[in-house]
Structure 1
Amino acid sequence: MADYRGLGFDPAPGSAGAVAAASARCAVEVPVPGVPVGWEGAAAEGLRTRLEAVVSELTAVRRAMRAASEVLDAWATTLLGNQRRAEDLDRRAVALRRDLSDAADEVDRAGALAAFTPAHAEVHADAVARHDRVARQLDDVLEEARLLARDHHAEARRVAERLRSEEPSTALADALADFSALTAELASVLLGPPARAAGRGAADAFAAGLG
């Protein structure tokens, strides 16, 4: 996790690796067995009929899982872009805080001289103006970071809603524990703290990465 010393907060929390792991979970294919070769009779026909129904259900599940994987892949790309922007803003904020500290020292020095030498009053005024200019620049960077955080969190909520909409509502889907847990929990883990430091499954990894 990046240490945003200049900004004082993380505008784009998340782990692209955790998102990729969740996407990979969604992309797993679920095979359906066939009727054993040589098995005939009413029982075999019954199994064949049931398997055809399962294949139909599984097609819907696979479609939903692929859609969820695409949503997560797009979010990973957005996440990386937001984090690069956050890191750039933080570098600018660090430099400006350093300049602001130097400017404050200059204001103090010029003010002390102006108190004894009226000729230094203009120097002091220039130092104050420079300090105020740097302070405004820092405020602009911090505001940009706050807007980035707002947009980042809004997009995370949209991702959670899209994932919810892709969750298949079939009996077969209930058996897909990883996918079911992932889609059910994503809305809370996108922006909230992880439920535990170490877990198993895509949702746990995603929660740990995005906390």
Structure 2
Amino acid sequence: MTDYRGLGFDPAPGHAGAVAAASERFSVAFTVTGAPPEQWAGAAADGFRTRLEAVVSELTAVRRAMRAAAEVLDGWATTLLGNQRRAEELDRRALALRRALAEASDEVDRTGAMAAFTAADGEAHDRAVARHDALRRQLDDVLEEARLLERDHRAEARRVAERLRAEEPSTAIADTLTGFSSITAELASVLLGPPRPASTRGAAAAFRAGLG
């Protein structure tokens, strides 16, 4: 995690690695197998086929939602990395300006103590004050850029969260993950062969961390 000593705050919070992990988990591929033999007839076969059709329908909806979520997260990862690079650049500028400002402040104090003696010393003091004020304005501009970056970053994070919540088949991504978990558990025991998809709890935690 970057220590933004120049800015004094993190304008672009989030963990790109966690976003990538969540996207990868959402992208897991699985297929439905286990259709009953054609010669299997009767109530048991009809019940199996009915349940199979329902599970396939549910699985298709969840798979579509998961893929859409992966695309959203991939886009967020790109935005996140770009914002963090910008934040690091601003922090470097702010840190350099703070150092220069500290030196300028010392110069103001030094020349101020001498200004009463000669006109030249007074002019040197005026130049030192002007330089100090110019550096202060530059630092204020950098900090304002960082605050605008933070505003835009958090606004985009909210849009990402809203897009994920809007995905089918539910109104909340947590509900999608819960449904995905229960469906895959059933499929694993009835319809699917190994390997089983990774735990979705990790995906949910990774999403929360990556969103920032």
Instruction: Tell me the amino acid that sits aligned with residue 22 of structure 2.
Output: A
Q: Take 2:67 and 2:160, find their aligned partners in 1: how far apart are those partners?
A: 15
Question: Which 5+ residue runs of structure 2 have no aligned equivalent?
Answer: 184-200
Q: Take 2:3 and 2:176, find their aligned partners in 1: how far apart are those partners?
A: 44
Q: 1:9 is matched with which residue?
A: 9
CA deviation digits over 1:46-95, x for unaligned, max 9?
31232123212222211111111100000000000000000000000010
The equivalences for 1:1-211 within 5 A come to: 1-37=1-37, 40-42=40-42, 43-169=44-170, 174-177=178-181, 201-209=202-210
Shift of the 130–178 alpha-carbon distance from structure 1 to 2, 3 Å rule, reads: farther
Q: Secondary structure at the match of 2:115?
A: helix
Per-residue deviation, 1:126: 0.7
Shift of the 119–71 alpha-carbon distance from structure 1 to 2, 3 Å rule, reads: same
Name the % identity. 73
Per-residue deviation, 1:207: 3.1
Work out the number of aligned pairs and report it: 191
Instruction: Tell me the amino acid that sits aligned with residue 86 of structure 1.
Output: A
Instruction: Tell me the amino acid that sits aligned with residue 2 of structure 2.
Output: A
What is the RMSD computed on CA atoms of the aligned residues?
A: 2.4
Deviates more, 1:169-178 or 1:135-144: 169-178
Question: Which 5+ residue runs of structure 1 have no aligned equivalent?
Answer: 180-199
Q: TM-score, normalised by structure 2?
A: 0.82
Q: TM-score, normalised by structure 1?
A: 0.82
CA deviation digits over 1:174-196, x for unaligned, max 9?
532399xxxxxxxxxxxxxxxxx
CA contact (8 A) 1:54 1:172 kept: no
Instruction: Tell me the amino acid that sits aligned with residue 48 of structure 2.
Output: L
CA deviation digits over 1:157-189, x for unaligned, max 9?
00000000014139997532399xxxxxxxxxx
Instruction: Tell me the amino acid that sits aligned with residue 55 of structure 2.
Output: V
- Which has the higher relative contact order, 1 or 2, with Cα contacts under 8 A spaced 6 or more apart? 2
